[in-house]
Amino acid sequence: MSTTNRTTVAVVVPHYELPHDLELVLTALELQDHPLELLEVVVADDGSATRPEPGPRPYRVSVVAQADEGFRAGAARNLGAAATSGEVLCFLDADTVPEPGYVSAVVRAVEAGADLVVGRRRHGDLLGTTPEQLRSWLAGGGGWEPEVFEEPAWLSEAYERTDDLRSAGDDAYRFVISAVLSTTRELFEAVGGFEEAFSAYGGEDWELAHRCWLRGATFRHARDAVAWHDGPDFAGRTEDEDEARRSRNVEGLALARFVAGPATRGVTSRGLVWEHPDVVVELDLPGGAAGDVEGVEDADVAACVRSLLAGSDAGVWLVGASGGSGSSVVGALDDPRVHLGEVPPAVLGRCRYRVRLDVPVLLEGATLAELAEVAPVRVGAHLLVRRARDDHRDDGAEAFTLEAPGVSAEHPRASDLQRTFGREDHQRTPRFTRPS
């Protein structure tokens, strides 16, 4: 990354049928105190009937467009990002007007070590505002001012509680909003951009932020990166509780498909099958089949897999077992959570925990979900559970060895196999805590 005043910035503005609001955003970008020769702006149109025309601006500006196939804000942002080359990507909604110091505040946060920056979205009535009025107001010239609406208290409280996301945990994604979202290009490209499967309002920003967090990104809320949304927050736009509930449910279901964890799936969902599990287990079977590993039989692998899946939102991949007895194990278990071959990158990018095994083990006395709560943790000689985020950050946190009565992870023996397949669930122990 270059020095602050030479950092190149690409501003991506997704747009659909908002010519007045877009004009205000483009005008506000003219007033940025970041050098305009280092700024490039692309309007990413999501199928408007009339292609937007940005007009002459003191910065580079272009328009890219996609067909109108419903709400595809994530795809539009990806299209816009691909058409730019800036080191920092600023995503601003077409109805969200940045103050003059917005871009420079984002750049300062990035150069202080943040990979993902979320600005401060304020709310005001900009309906009917002219570009001239906007210029005067943003320049502090007095005269016209918009009516100001309340900011969502839950968001302000979250930033306060987490020291502007410095102390946030796995739920950090919930405090990211795409209207004022910025990332380094390196991070954005590493995670693959926005998920384009979202086809309704909301969710695609949280899903992206979740993958960025798991990738090891540093988050920061930049309070001085202020942008004004035209109108109140969503919660203040409708008095219809049923409508608001339906909207939340649609967004929640879409998120649960991609974002693992109790916040989206609930603790009762561990019996369900998800394409993107919370815990990914990679059982390495050298030689491509269990029978090729000395002392390991297909029954050992089957018993191991069943014990690992019990009570957890998990998936197991038999790495190296592309056929032969590996296929026999998968066929015998007849479980969609068991797979042959390498873990798909999209799955690895969304799991919170990774388990690597070089031999089959039987996990008894606890579930992987319980062990994940205290990760990194080692049980026995072969079972190690680590957080995916720690893996990406190369966190040197040493796994502690769990010493709890009734909890074990041992290589299966014939007597173990009969016991494992002869009962529906495993012995449970109280929740664990990491030693101080």
Confidence at residue 333, expressed as pLDDT on a 0 to 100 scale: 87
**C-beta of residue 212 within 8 angstroms of C-beta of residue 89:** no
> How far apart are the C-alpha atoms of 143 and 136, rounded to whole Å?
8
% residues pLDDT > 70 (the chain): 80
CATH number of the domain to which 187 belongs: 3.90.550.10
Q: Which of 212-216, 229-233, 308-312, 326-330 has the highest mean pLDDT?
A: 212-216
pLDDT digit string, tens, across residues 69-94: 888 999 999 999 999 999 999 999 99
Confidence check: pLDDT of 213 > 90: yes
Which of 259, 282, 301 terminates a domain? The answer is 259
What pLDDT does residue 288 have? Answer: 47
d(CA 13, CA 144): 26
Q: Residue 406: its pLDDT value, please?
A: 58
Kindly provide the b/e burial profile for residues 102-140, where b requires at least 16 CB atoms within 10 angstroms of the residue's own CB: bbbbbbbbbeeebbbbbbbbbbbebeebeeebbeebbee
- Evaluate whether residue 71 is within a structural domain: yes
Give how far Cα 16 sits from Cα of 20, 49, 51, 390, Å: 11, 9, 9, 39
Inter-axis angle of helices 204-214 and 73-82, nearest 10: 60
109 shares its domain with 253: yes
The region that residue 380 occupies, defined by phi over 0 for left and psi between -120 and 50 for alpha, beta otherwise, is left
* 3 Cα distance to chain centroid: 28
In a domain, 130, yes or no: yes
Tokens of 382: 């072969």
* Segment 397-421, tens digit of pLDDT: 566 566 555 566 666 643 343 333 3
Q: Is residue 434 part of a domain?
A: no
Does position 324 have pLDDT exceeding 90, yes or no? no
The dihedral through the CA atoms of 223, 231, 248, 153 has a sign that is positive
CA distance 407 to 398: 20
**pLDDT score for 397:** 59
Burial zone of 171 (CB within 10 Å; 0-12 exposed, 13-18 middle, 19+ buried): middle
For 14-42, give the DSSP string. Answer: EESS-HHHHHHHHHHHHT-SS-GGGEEEE
Whether the Cβ atoms of residue 431 and residue 366 lie closer than 8 Å to each other? no
Quick check: 303 and 416 in contact, CB under 8 A? Answer: yes
CB within 8 Å of 50: residues ≥ 6 apart: 19
Q: Is residue 117's pLDDT more than 90?
A: yes
Contact call for residues 357 and 286 (beta carbons, < 8 A)? no
Structurally, the chain folds into a number of domains equal to: 2
Q: Please answer whether residues 42 and 10 qualify as being in contact, where contact means their C-beta atoms are separated by less than 8 angstroms.
A: yes
pLDDT, tens only, 27-75: 999 999 999 999 999 999 999 999 999 999 999 999 999 999 888 999 9
Residue 432 resides in a domain: no
- 354 in the same domain as 232: no
Residue type, 163: D
Is the same domain home to 141 and 192?
Answer: yes
Q: Cβ contacts of residue 145 below 8 Å, gap of 6+?
A: 137
Q: Is the dihedral of CA 266, 267, 272, 274 positive or negative?
A: positive
**pLDDT score at 226:** 98
Of 204, 224, 259, which residue is a domain's last? 259
Q: Which domain holds residue 249?
A: 4-259
Residues 87-99 as b/e (b if ≥16 CB within 10 A, e otherwise) read bbbbbbbbbbbbb
Phi and psi for 139 in degrees, rounded to 5?
-85, -5
Q: What is the pTM of this model?
A: 0.86
Last residue of some domain: 224, 259, 294? 259
Per residue in 257-272, pLDDT tens? 999 988 888 865 666 7
Segment 165-170 shows an average pLDDT of 95
